[in-house]
Structure 1
Amino acid sequence: MVTSGADPLEAERVELGPPEEVGLPTGGVAQRLGVSPTTVRSWERRYGIGPAHREAGHHRRWSPQDIAVLEAMCRLTARGVPPGEAARAALAERGVGQAPERPKAEPGGRPGGSRALRVGAVRPECRGLARAAVRLDAPEVVRILGQAVEALGAVEAWTEVMMPALRAVGRKWAADGEQYVEVEHLLSWHVSTALRGVAVGPARSRSGPPVPPDRPVPPVLLAAVPGEQHTLPLEATAAALAERGLPFRMLGAAVPPRALLDAVRRIGPGAVMLWSQDRRGADHELVARVCGCAWGQRGSRGAPVVLAVGPGWARGATPAGTESPRTLAAAVDLLEQAVTR
């Protein structure tokens, strides 16, 4: 996003340049805002958000006032406001007036062209998150994620805001090759940061009965199967457990079998959640070994409830002795029941 003060070096360049060079070209404006030049041109063509002053035969030059209108447009669209409404509000906010009528866009056309993410029918927060991620607008991504977690809680924020945006980026990446890796990496990092902020912060109980104070509650052990690098669902689970005041131990990505089994015996968890994104990593034999783990003295030995979670565990082929919930909400409920029974 553009900052309020002009860059000193840029200001000096503008002052020393000839009259026709005053202001920034479209490419420079797009770079400052974190959008593509195509998006800027599209907004000008469709919604009348363009330089207030233009001279025939000269390239477009954007003044600070013009850039402020574009900045407002970016901020509003990132918050889920439809582009047409955002344009009218941005122009009105700067005292420009209403956008002039423009020729209708070609059928199926969207502001930003092919850079737009197709997120489908989702909450406005998710649509705004996807737009901010494509612009690499980290401050806006942080703001949206923070408000979503605070207002909705970890489970709903993950299910209705974070996950649909991540999936849309993944589809775009798969279709366009390496072009959208930077978007996926930025969004994933900030999603992880938001979830970890809840998981390691002060416990907040949003739902479920209070944890009985008269006995210790065994922790939940969270781990990805060997070779599995995707951990955001585990981090969402950790955040949801923290909101309910339930203890957990996060082992994270690609935990080797020996390390996993050793951790189960040492910790004595009330429940173990094993995440698998890819069917190639869904090791049923390993799950059976975890189910067979026990600890404690004879006569009072314990064993964990085991959840095999994720698309890697094929439907109809659930490992024996395990639970396989299909949603984060269901998984968290089962984990809570396992450690508070």
Structure 2
Amino acid sequence: MLVDHHCHSVVAEELDEAAFAALITESDRPPAAGTSPFDSAIGLAVRRWCPPLLGLAALVGADAYLEARRAVGADAATARMLAAAGLTDLLVDTGLTEARGRPLLPPAELAALAGARLHEVVRLESVAAAVRAPAPTWPEAVAEALAEACAEAVAVKSVLAYRAGLDIPGGPPDRSEVVRAAGARTDGRITDPVLLRHLLWSAVGLGLPIQLHTGFGDPDLRLHRADPAMLVDFVRAVEPDGVPLVLLHGYPYHRQAAWLAQAFPHVYADVGLTLSYTGPRAAAVLGEVLELAPFGKVLFSTDAYGLPELYPVGAAQFQRALGTVLDDWRAAGDCTAEDALQIGAALGHGNARRLYGI
């Protein structure tokens, strides 16, 4: 039983080798000559977990896998991948509608193919980008738009790390600052640090859990400014409100995320994306998260996006990594079998159900 507390929709159309490979890397650039995204830890994970879902042996070559995928057909392959992940609930970030220029399935169709319940996560910057109010009324217009967009949502998400970095002042900006920044906007994309802080504090007012991208991502990111430890002033400022802050991904700063989850009662750590991309090393990385993070503060997700295969890969990587860690602890006498069952249930679904009220 797994609750995927942070994920995206997928491309359900036929994919040639180049298009498929482009969706198993966070880079939006073509690979270097003579290389392939398949030749990576996540490439190995895709070849380890997905071929058996198409009737092939694990770890067959990429060419054989893609040939079998084409023979099955994109629709059937997508359905098999999503169903195989064994997810009961999907918390879908609805702020993205395409991947590498290809349309994503509507979230309801995604959930239906996965056999899971759908819950919406609203991306703050996507909502704000559509607000065209004059600068003097922009703060109120954004608050109104967010309240409307979040009427049925279970959480919101910020990509502050991409747009301005996580090294922000703790408190909210003055209204006059927000109005000035709104007046200086030249397009729909929200990149001004003042406006991004205003969005975060508007979200605090909603009371929903706030998911924050941290750690690695695509080349639009400045990685050193995505260290979650930089959020500590904001974390402290939000603490009196009690609004949960969920630090997504984290790698290679997953230990910093674990420290924040240990130190502050309203902070949670996610292991999605990280466990998929670290492939055979996933158990070591998960073990590092669990060095400090309380077991009731760590959540599973796939962060699957674009490629349907990333759903079963994310689920399998998590389950194997967690099983390896807990088996080692039990063998060393560091936890009981009952402890292991309770930890597994908490990380796999219990923490997410409690946090998001689902």
Per residue, is there more strand in 1 or in 2? 2
- TM > 0.5 between the two? no
Q: TM class, shorter-chain normalised? A: 0.3 to 0.5
Give the TM-score of the pair, scaled to structure 2: 0.33
The structure having more radius of gyration, on CA atoms, is 1
User: Which protein, 1 or 2, shows the higher relative CO under an 8 Å CA cutoff with sep ≥ 6?
Assistant: 2
